[in-house]
Structure 1
C-alpha cells in the first residue's frame, strides 16, 4: 500500500520530442556503428516502470490472497466447529431416537418371551389332556367288549350300551380336537419365535448402531494423535454393503416389526383364550359322559338285581310247588294202588256169581250193585290215573321252569358280574382332569 501511495505522488514524466515527430517508444535512432548495445534513458525508464508496475500488481494480488486466505481459514474454522457441534447434536438426537425404539423393542420382546412361555405351558397342558383321553378310550372299549359277554335276553342294546357308545365317541372326538389344538399352538409358537427372532435381530442392530455412534462421538482431532488415518477405520464394526436406507424407511421398518409383533400377540391371546375354553369344555364333556355311563350302569344293575331277586323268589316258590306236586303224585299213586284191591274183589265177586246154576243165574240187585261198584271203581281208577298223568306233566313243567329260572338267574348273575365287577371296577380308574 505504501508503494502504491508513492506511485501516486511521483510527478508525471513529460513526453520528450527529439525532433523526429515520434514518441520515445517509436523513436527512430540514427544509424549507429556496430559494437556493444547502448540503452537510452527513455527505454530504461519505461522498463523500470513496467517492472515496478508488475511487481506492484503481484504484491497487491498477494495481499488480497492473504486476506482471502485469512478469511477462508477463519470461515473454515467456524464452519468446522459448527459442523462438529451440529454432528454431536445430531448424534445425540439420533441416540435418543434409537434409545426410544430400542426400549419399545425391549418391552415388546419381554411381552413376546412371556407369551412364548404361556403358549408353551398351554401346549403342555393340551398334550397332557390329549394323552389323558387314551385311558378312558381304552377302558370304555374294554367295557363294551366285556358287555358283549352277556347271555340270553340280557344281551340287548340297553341304555348302558348307548351311553358307552356316546362316551367313546366323545372321548375320540375330544382327543382329535386336542390334537388339532396342539398343532395350532405349535404353529403359534413358531410365529412367536419368528417374531422374537426379528425383534432380537433389530434390537441387536440398534445396540450395535449405538456402539458405532458412541465410537463416532468419541472421535476427536486429539484422539487421532495427529496421525493420518488414510484407509483406516476406527469403527467397532465392519462396514456393511448395500445402500443405506432413509430415516423414514428405518422408522417404518421398526414400526412394521412392532405392529407385526402386536398382531402376533393379539392372535396368541385370542388363541389361548379359545384353547382354555376347549380344555374346560373337553374335560366337562368327558366327565359328563363318564358320569352318565356310570349312572346308567347303576340303574341297569338295579334293574338286573331286581329281576334276579324276583327270579330267585320264583325259583323258591317253584321248588315248593315241585315238592308239593311230587307229594301229590305219590298220594295219587298210593290212592290208585289202594283201589286195585277193591276192584279185584268186585271183579272176583262178579265172576263168582256168574257160576250160579240154572235159574239162579239171574240179574238181581246184587248184580246191579256189583256192576255199579265196578263202574265206580273203574271211574275212580281212571280219574286217579288221569290225575297222576296231569301231576307228572305239571311236575315236568315245573322242573323245566326251574331249570329255566336257574339258567336265567345265572345269566343275571353273569350280567351283574360283568357290569359291577368287571366294568365298574375298571371304570373307577378313569380320571378326568382339566389340565
Structure 2
C-alpha cells in the first residue's frame, strides 16, 4: 500500500523547538503546582497547630472553671451541713424546752387547784364570817399569780412550738439544698471532670496519629 501524501507538511505535528517549549512549560507548571502544594500544606499545618493550641487553651480554661465551680459548690455544701447541724441542735433544744414547759404547766395545776378550792370553800362561811379578810385577799393574789404564771408558760409554749415549726421548715429547705449541691457535685466532679481526664495530644489533633 502506498501513502503518497505523507511528504506533505502537517501543521498539527510538533517540531523540536515546540516540543522543547511544551516540555519546559509542563515542567514549570509542575514545579509551580508543587510549590503551591507545599505552601498550602504549610498553611494547613500551621492552621491545625494554631487550632490545637487554642483547643488546649480552652481545655485548660474549662478545667480551671470546673475546678473553681467544684470548690465553690463544696464550700457551699459544707456551709449548709454546718447550718443543718446547728438547726438540728436547736430543734433538739427547743423540743426539750417544750417538754420542760409542758411539765411546768402540768406542775402548776395542783397548787392552782388547791388555792381555787380554798377560795371556793371560804364562800360557804356563814353570815358575817364571809369576810374579805387578809387570807382571802392573799388567796386571790395567789390564784391570780398562779394563773398569770400558767398564762405566761402557755405563751412561751406557743412561741416554742412556732419556733420548732420554723426550724422544721428550715431543716427541710437545708436538706433539699444539700441534695441539690451533692447532685451538682456528682455531675461536675464525677461525670464532667471524669470525662476530661484524658485529652488528645497536639500531634493527634493535627492528624499525625
Backbone CA RMSD of aligned residues: 1.7
* Cα deviation 1:307-345 (Å, max 9, x = unaligned): 110111111111111111111111111111111111111
Answer yes or no: is the 8 Å Cα contact 1:350–1:367 preserved in 2. Answer: yes
Partner of 2:61: 292
- TM-score scaled by structure 2? 0.87
Runs of at least 4 residues off by over 4 Å: none
Partner of 1:254: 23
Partner of 1:333: 102
More divergent stretch after superposition (269-278 vs 396-405): 396-405
Q: Residues of 2 paired with 1:398 and 1:247: CA distance? A: 106
Q: Residues of 1 paired with 2:75 and 2:12: CA distance? A: 91
Among 381, 387, 394, which residue is 2:156 paired with? 387
Q: Residues of 2 paired with 1:414 and 1:432: CA distance? A: 32
Partner of 1:313: 82
Partner of 1:411: 180
1:283 aligns with 2:65: no
Shift of 1:375: 1.3
Q: Residues of 2 paired with 1:365 and 1:400: CA distance? A: 52
Answer yes or no: is the 8 Å Cα contact 1:301–1:420 preserved in 2. Answer: yes
Among 99, 116, 122, which residue is 1:347 paired with? 116
Shift of 1:367: 2.2
Q: Residues of 1 paired with 2:64 and 2:200: CA distance? A: 16
Equivalent position SS for 1:325: helix
Which of 1 and 2 has greater Rg?
A: 1
Q: Residues of 2 paired with 1:432 and 1:341: CA distance? A: 86
Answer yes or no: is the 8 Å Cα contact 1:286–1:432 preserved in 2. Answer: no
Equivalent position SS for 2:198: coil
Shift of 1:404: 1.8
Partner of 2:145: 376
Q: Residues of 1 paired with 2:12 and 2:109: CA distance? A: 137
* Cα deviation 1:388-415 (Å, max 9, x = unaligned): 1111111121122122212211211111
Partner of 2:91: 322
Alignment size in residue pairs: 196
